[in-house]
């Protein structure tokens, strides 16, 4: 009997432990105290000793070259580029990207097109800026560039050029065609091999307060994808100093659960991850500003650097497996399906097949649950047979217990002999005491796959179902489905054959409450899956009890 208890306890503990890691990940840190907003690069100046991006040598101002006519624009100008999926606004102030809107997706408030460039202070709606750790590039970032726009073979070509009187200059060229990709090339004038650095970020998107507080989202994390297709992620608040990543990367950028903004570097460009605030703090300290040694903001920026020229793609778009794979082979690895990712692929395929026939993701989840239940029926059958046999063996097990219990205190070997006799009974009757737990354990990979699917599959973001459930990737706002899930799970437990084991009864009776509490803030699509699975299990149990003999063989039907 102790072996059975141990098996049941082990099975339930494993299931609860796996779910606990999903429900209660490491808590997010409390918001940082207010820090000075990031200043515009026009007022940023860093001495030669200040930290610089990896791959960029410490910049020193060269001796003046032959005087040339400066190249600078007279007034601010923005260039708008738009295709069927992406709308960009480029500013001639530094040639930076000031807006990247995804036409087919809505923002967190559902009131407008999704914007991937941060708009709140201190980010000020600007990204792909020149690295301010280089004095010349800091000036270029604040200057108005001469702008030309023309149509090329690969799409619209926008060129921003800036040059100072001493001959130092920089030209930034964007190429924009179809899809979510923007071509970028930056060339520095006034001597070969001069460092060039551009910065993506900080941050990505404009998450709502609910998303920032949601333990299941990760807005602003950095992600790098190596040539060997190894993915490295760093939480935005986990970076305390610059981290050189190196060169030869497939992609390097910033992400949340569903979207990514990333450089697609060439072979020679190097990447550094840098916490926001280091350059600002260094510049403030150089100016004698009191309290300049502030902590970096809880955001990360990605620095792409090279000598003389940097060239890369810029991806602003969704984490869609087909789109990412078409942009650059291997980029589909940016989608983090976590544990049991091998289960997610067929599950997503199945959902897409049902959604193609009935365009409602909630209905697709219900139909997929039915298919999964059918596939798991042989295991469910074995579970029922095992539990029925265990129930029929209870008198014999109780007799063994009564036989050995009086001897437990006087005979040290009594418990061992009792367990041996119990196991011999199981062997004779061909009963596996852990058989009832097996289907529950085998459902854990499917449950975790559903969770990761709902948390990362772009198809299910903001996907409505019916009535009050208008986002299957978010929790049920009224907790109706978690309550129904708990009740149906309890009812299912009451219908199971009695084993006569008081400890098992207590554990199984308490389990629905534990699961209900753990699922209350889970994505409603996941709760829907488990609720439907419970209802199907109840219906299956009723049918088996009616049409089979103790769940082991069909009853004879009358002619």
At what angle are helices 2-23 and 502-519 packed, to 10 degrees?
A: 10
Tokens 């004698």 correspond to 288
DSSP, collapsed to helix, strand or coil, labels residue 387 as: helix
Of the candidates 188, 208, 213, the one whose C-alpha atom is nearest the C-alpha of residue 131 is 188
Answer with the residue of higher pLDDT: 165 or 427. 165
Buried b / exposed e across 428-439, counting CB within 10 Å, b at 16+? eeebbbebbbbb
Percent residues over pLDDT 70 in the chain: 73
pLDDT at 208 exceeding the cut of 80? no
What pLDDT score was predicted for residue 370? 94
* pLDDT for position 210: 67
φ, ψ (nearest 5 deg) of residue 395: -60, -40
pLDDT at res. 162: 94
pLDDT tens by residue, 173-196: 999 999 999 999 999 987 667 889
DSSP 90-129: EESBTT-EEEEEEEEEE-TTSSSEEE-S--STTTTT-BSE
Cβ neighbours for 386, distance < 8 A, ≥ 6 positions apart: 431, 432, 435, 436
pLDDT in tens, 505-532: 676 777 888 888 888 888 899 899 999 9
pLDDT at 1: 45
Closest residue by Cα to residue 486 from 453, 458, 519, 526: 519
Give residue 549's pLDDT band: very low, low, confident or very high (50, 70, 90): low
Q: What is the pLDDT of residue 298?
A: 67
Q: What is the pLDDT of residues 19-50, one digit of tens each?
A: 555 555 554 444 433 333 333 333 233 333 33
What is residue 16's predicted lDDT score, i.e. its pLDDT?
A: 56
Examine the pLDDT at 131 and tell me if it is beyond 80: yes
Token pair for 456: 């990362």
Q: Which helix (H) or strand (E) holds 543?
A: helix 524-547
Q: 115: which strand partners? A: 101
Confidence of residue 56 (pLDDT cuts 50, 70, 90): very low
pLDDT in tens, 151-173: 988 899 999 999 998 888 999 99
Q: For the chain, what percent of residues have pLDDT higher than 90?
A: 33
Look at residue 118 in the predicted model and tell me its pLDDT. 85
pLDDT tier for residue 447 given thresholds of 50, 70 and 90: confident
**Which residue(s) pair with 270 in the sheet?**
247, 305
Least confident of 45-49, 199-203, 296-300, 524-528: 45-49
Which of 55-64, 268-277, 443-452 has the lowest average pLDDT?
55-64
Radius of gyration of the chain (CA): 31
- Which pLDDT score, from 0 to 100, does residue 18 have? 54
Is a pLDDT exceeding 70 seen at residue 465? Answer: yes
Which residues are paired to 199 by β-bridges?
129, 303
Whether the pLDDT of residue 292 is over 80: the answer is: no
Residue 476 has pLDDT above 50, yes or no: yes
Condensed to tens digits (0 to 9), the pLDDT of residues 345-391 reads 899 999 999 999 999 999 999 999 999 989 888 877 777 777 777 77
The pLDDT confidence band at residue 13, using thresholds 50, 70 and 90, is: low
pLDDT of residue 216: 63
* DSSP one-letter code for 459: G
pLDDT in tens, 81-110: 999 999 999 999 999 999 999 999 987 665
Collect all residues with Cβ–Cβ distance below 8 Å to 450 and sequence separation of at least 6.
347, 525, 526, 529
Domains of the chain, start order: 70-336 (2.70.98.90), 343-552 (no CATH)
What pLDDT, on a 0 to 100 scale, did the predictor assign at position 190? 79
For residue 202, cis peptide bond before it (omega within 30 degrees of 0):
yes
The strand ranges marked E within 153-283 are 155-163, 169-176, 181-189, 195-200, 221-226, 231-234, 243-247, 249-255, 259-265, 270-275
Give CA–CA dist 137/124, Å, rounded: 19
Residue 62, pLDDT above cutoff 80: no
Count how many Cα atoms sit within 13 Å of the Cα of residue 189 in the half-sphere of its side chain: 18
For residue 250, what pLDDT is reported? 94
- Looking at residue 55, its pLDDT comes to 35
Instruction: Tell me phi and psi for residue 124, to 5 degrees.
Output: 60, 25
Whether 557 shows a pLDDT value over 60: the answer reads no
Give the mean pLDDT of the chain: 78
Q: CA 384, CA 389: separation in Å to the nearest integer?
A: 9
Tokens matching residue 107: 């923002």
């Amino acid at each position: 009997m102790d072996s059975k208890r141990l098996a049941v306890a082990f099975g339930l503990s494993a299931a609860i432990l796996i779910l606990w890691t999903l429900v209660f990940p490491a808590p997010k840190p409390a918001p940082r105290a207010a820090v000075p907003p990031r200043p515009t690069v026009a007022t940023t100046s860093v001495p030669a000793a200040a930290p610089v991006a990896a791959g960029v040598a410490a910049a020193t101002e060269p001796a003046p070259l032959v005087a040339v006519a400066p190249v600078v624009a007279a007034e601010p100008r923005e260039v708008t580029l738009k295709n069927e999926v992406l709308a960009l606004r480029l500013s001639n102030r530094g040639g930076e990207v000031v807006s990247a809107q995804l036409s087919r997706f809505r923002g967190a408030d559902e009131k407008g097109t999704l914007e991937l460039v941060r708009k709140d202070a201190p980010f000020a709606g600007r990204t792909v800026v020149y690295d301010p750790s280089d004095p010349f590039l800091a000036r270029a970032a604040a200057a108005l560039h001469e702008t030309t726009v023309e149509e090329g073979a690969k799409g619209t070509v926008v060129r921003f050029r800036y040059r100072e009187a001493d001959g130092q200059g920089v030209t930034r060229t964007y190429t924009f065609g179809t899809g979510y990709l923007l071509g970028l090339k930056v060339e520095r004038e006034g001597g070969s091999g001069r460092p060039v650095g551009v910065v993506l970020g900080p941050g990505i998107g404009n998450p709502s307060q609910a998303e920032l507080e949601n333990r299941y989202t990760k807005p602003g994390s950095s992600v790098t994808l190596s040539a060997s297709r190894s993915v490295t992620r760093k939480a935005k608040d986990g970076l305390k100093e610059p981290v050189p990543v190196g060169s030869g990367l497939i992609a390097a950028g910033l992400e949340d659960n569903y979207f990514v903004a990333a450089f697609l570097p060439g072979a020679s460009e190097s990447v550094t991850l840098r916490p926001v605030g280091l350059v600002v703090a260094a510049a403030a300290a150089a100016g004698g500003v009191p309290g300049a040694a502030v902590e970096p903001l809880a955001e990360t920026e990605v620095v792409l650097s090279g000598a003389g020229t940097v060239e890369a793609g810029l991806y602003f778009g969704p984490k869609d497996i087909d789109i990412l794979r078409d942009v650059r082979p291997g980029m589909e690895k940016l989608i983090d399906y976590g544990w049991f990712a091998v289960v997610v692929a067929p599950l997503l395929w199945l959902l897409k097949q049902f959604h193609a026939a009935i365009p409602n993701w909630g209905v697709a989840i219900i139909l997929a649950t039915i298919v999964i239940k059918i596939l798991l029926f042989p295991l469910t059958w074995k579970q029922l047979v095992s539990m029925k046999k265990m129930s029929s063996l209870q008198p014999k097990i109780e007799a063994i217990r009564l036989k050995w219990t009086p001897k437990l205190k006087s005979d040290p070997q009594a418990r061992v002999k009792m367990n041996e006799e119990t196991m011999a009974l199981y062997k004779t009757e061909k009963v596996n005491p852990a058989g009832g737990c097996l289907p529950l354990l085998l459902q854990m990979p499917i449950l975790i796959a559903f969770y990761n699917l709902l948390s990362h599959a772009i198809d299910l973001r903001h996907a409505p179902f019916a009535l009050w459930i208008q986002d299957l990737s978010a929790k049920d706002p009224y907790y109706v489905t978690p309550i129904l899930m708990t009740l149906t799970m309890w009812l299912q437990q009451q219908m199971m054959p009695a084993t006569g084991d008081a400890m098992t009864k207590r554990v199984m009776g308490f389990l629905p409450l534990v699961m209900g509490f753990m699922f209350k803030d889970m994505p409603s699509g996941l709760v829907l899956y488990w609720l439907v699975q419970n209802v199907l299990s109840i219906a299956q149990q009723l049918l088996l009890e009616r049409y089979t003999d103790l769940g082991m063989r069909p009853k004879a039907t009358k002619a």
